Amino acid sequence: MHQKKSKLPVFLIAAVVVIGLVVLGIFILRQSPSEQAREAVETFYDHEQKGEFASSWQLFHPLMKERFAKGHYIQDRAHVFMNHFGVTTFTYSLSDMEKIEGWSMTKEAEPIDLVYATTVTQTYKGEYGNFALHQDVFVAKVKEEWKVLWDYKK
């Protein structure tokens, strides 16, 4: 008698291999926390470059939103950079991300358990010549989203 071979073992092996490749792909493609933090800073400054100050304001940490009302921030950023400096846009670069534990935005503020820090250099070419601004920028996670902070310690 001729028995029909079951294709079940081959199917199971193929399914395990496919699942393994998917899991490996997800693991490889997943960004590290520092890469996610860097991406948040880049998104913030991409909006700033385009003059989309309402969008960049949305990326602020709640502590920053307490410092700047949305309307005031939008008006002030446009006024200072475009009117006073005589520029319409800028380029920027970021230093490597540095992990910091127990960082505070001000001397009085409660420490944030974990932030990532980078130095952002904004380069302007405007009416008053070429110049660069260097600012330390911090990023903390709030409800699974990375949010931007500036340092106000004196």
Under the banding of pLDDT at 50, 70 and 90, the label for residue 144 is very high
CA distance linking residue 35 with residue 97, whole number of Å: 8
DSSP states of 24-85 = HHHHHHSPPHHHHHHHHHHHHHHHHHTT-HHHHHHTB-HHHHHHS-HHHHHHHHIIIIIIIS
**In this structure, what CATH number is given to the domain that contains residue 122?**
3.10.450.100
pLDDT (tens digit, 9 = 90+) per residue, 62-116? 999 999 999 999 999 888 877 777 787 889 999 999 999 999 999 999 999 999 9
Can you give the pTM of this predicted structure? 0.79
CA distance linking residue 154 with residue 91, whole number of Å: 28
Q: Structural domain of residue 124, as residue ranges? A: 35-150
In a domain, 20, yes or no: no
pLDDT for the residue 81: 74
CA distance linking residue 133 with residue 152, whole number of Å: 16
In a domain, 22, yes or no: no
CA distance linking residue 102 with residue 122, whole number of Å: 27
Under the banding of pLDDT at 50, 70 and 90, the label for residue 5 is low
Q: What is the mean pLDDT of residues 43-54?
A: 94
Higher pLDDT, 108 or 31: 108
- Torsion on CA atoms 46, 51, 57, 58, rounded to nearest 10: -60
In a domain, 120, yes or no: yes
Number of domains in the chain: 1
In a domain, 62, yes or no: yes
Tokens of 131: 């110049």
In a domain, 105, yes or no: yes
In a domain, 9, yes or no: no
In a domain, 129, yes or no: yes
Under the banding of pLDDT at 50, 70 and 90, the label for residue 128 is confident
